[in-house]
Structure 1
């Protein structure tokens, strides 16, 4: 008899079991800000966190993978990772979403992940980091509307997605800092999403030294002009130009370090992250329409 319990099949079964277990928790009303066990490992510029349900340590509900461009002091304790199940009717949380009707918590994964490094834990990094939330609780489909959202503690969530990949779902995004993450279904018109991302970049440019603003504003103008005539190639080229400009000027003309002490502004990292997620949305509009 041929064995079919390959590692991939085993992961699918594990994910299915985790989804069933989560469903039972929800039906039992246990999702009211229920803290979840988190196991964290870290080495060099990479860290991983496995999120499980209480009593099911071998059944990962989600995994968080963090990769840094240039980290210092990275350790499990310096990251400050926690996770909790949240209620789908939590008014305070829902008020933090961009659109109550069009950005939706997922019943299969109502998990809020917080990465809040302790102020004196010693963590710092230059440039950007990349986050991936991997889960078998959500199905993957081409053109998926699942997105990775990020927010400051207690603040408004915004889309940082730069890739949605299979396996079952791997939601990836680039960041210049932390702290809270959700996977949401975002059915807002893509044009509105792009406009919000452009505005967020303009707000970041307004924080730069005067001598640095004009070059970035000109690139943002080029992006909007290209999108106005559906010239996606030109819009993507200008977006890549913005990212490359931030990378080139990082560390000399633009601050590019994040520290747990919150004493530094990572302007370059935030611009690079903003360009990465903007590129994702422009390409999505080109490939899938509004």
Structure 2
């Protein structure tokens, strides 16, 4: 068999990226939520929902969801993985979901948005490596998982911003995942601390340092205590101490929403360790 023919046959066997499908979205303004039932092929379907603490301009004109089947080697995914050796798209569910509110319209939300995905195309098993990942713009995909469960596979996460979501098989050691999530939390804290009041900055920095120090010393119960205290502080705030608005123009940082997403997914990883 010639090399050219081998390359041609291999290309035929690889799943090709399909055109993104703009899906029908059901809006529930009273509940600040949206839901979409998405069928991408005879074997790939899912329910995808987003819930908000508060939202403004949550209408079909302002808010859209796209979904598509992508190649397992699609550079839009592969080049943005935490590691191409240990994280990958599941062959049974190579789905990329994009949430793109119109930047010229008035959509905005406060706090953390809750993301839920349910599919029969995947099956939950105890200790499953399937996780929900998110990336903003062209950034690297990050694990935002808060919960996984059966039915056939259900996953929940949270985010303080949009755009791309997918399920990945994550074979990294959980201690490495925890270390990565702590680094993300520390980096984001350092990036936004100057935007905060003295009291808010001190509270945030002290709790993050306490959490990080406890983990460095292998003291997971103490780390969990500091983490739960930080999450309580963030959940109790209404945007007074920590700015908590994201808008489609993407010109402000949703500090509270981002911190909640980072801390909640870290708590998930600590709980399953």
TM-score range, shorter chain: 0.7 to 0.9
Shift of 1:123: 1.4
- Secondary structure of 1:205's counterpart equals helix
- Which residue of structure 2 aligns with residue 72 of structure 1? 56
- Which residue of structure 1 aligns with residue 265 of structure 2? 277
Alignment map for 1:117-196 (pairs within 5 Å):
117-196=101-180
Deviations 1:5-25 (A, max 9, x none): xxxxxxxxxxxxxxxxxxxxx
Assess, with a 3 A threshold, how the Cα gap between structure 1 residues 77 and 106 changes in structure 2: closer, same or farther: farther
Pairing 1:107–2:91 present: yes
Asked if 1 retains the 8 angstrom alpha-carbon contact of 2:80 and 2:139, the reply is yes
- Secondary structure of 1:275's counterpart equals helix
Q: Take 1:97 and 1:72, find their aligned partners in 2: how far apart are those partners?
A: 32
Q: Take 2:163 and 2:116, find their aligned partners in 1: how far apart are those partners?
A: 14
Shift of 1:89: 1.6
Shift of 1:279: 0.2
How many residue pairs match? The answer is 257
Shift of 1:90: 1.9
Q: Take 2:33 and 2:255, find their aligned partners in 1: how far apart are those partners?
A: 22
- Secondary structure of 1:243's counterpart equals helix
- Secondary structure of 2:268's counterpart equals helix
Assess, with a 3 A threshold, how the Cα gap between structure 1 residues 60 and 88 changes in structure 2: closer, same or farther: closer
Asked if 1 retains the 8 angstrom alpha-carbon contact of 2:20 and 2:68, the reply is yes
> In the alignment, which of 31, 37, 46 is matched to residue 33 of structure 2?
46
> In the alignment, which of 240, 243, 254 is matched to residue 242 of structure 2?
254
- Secondary structure of 2:222's counterpart equals helix
Asked if 2 retains the 8 angstrom alpha-carbon contact of 1:41 and 1:75, the reply is no
Shift of 1:166: 1.1
Q: Take 1:179 and 1:252, find their aligned partners in 2: how far apart are those partners?
A: 26
- Secondary structure of 1:50's counterpart equals strand
- Which residue of structure 1 aligns with residue 207 of structure 2? 219
Alignment map for 1:194-205 (pairs within 5 Å):
194-205=178-189
Q: Take 1:196 and 1:30, find their aligned partners in 2: how far apart are those partners?
A: 31
Q: Take 1:123 and 1:202, find their aligned partners in 2: how far apart are those partners?
A: 29
Q: In angstroms, what is the RMSD of aligned CA positions?
A: 2.1
Assess, with a 3 A threshold, how the Cα gap between structure 1 residues 117 and 170 changes in structure 2: closer, same or farther: same
Pairing 1:266–2:254 present: yes
| TM-score, normalised with respect to structure 1 | 0.82
Deviation larger for 196-205 or 104-113: 196-205
Shift of 1:229: 4.3
- Which residue of structure 1 aligns with residue 6 of structure 2? none
- Which residue of structure 1 aligns with residue 21 of structure 2? 36
Shift of 1:84: 1.1
| TM-score, normalised with respect to structure 2 | 0.87
Shift of 1:88: 0.7
Shift of 1:249: 4.1
Deviations 1:39-74 (A, max 9, x none): 2111121100121126x6xx8711111111111111
Shift of 1:137: 0.6
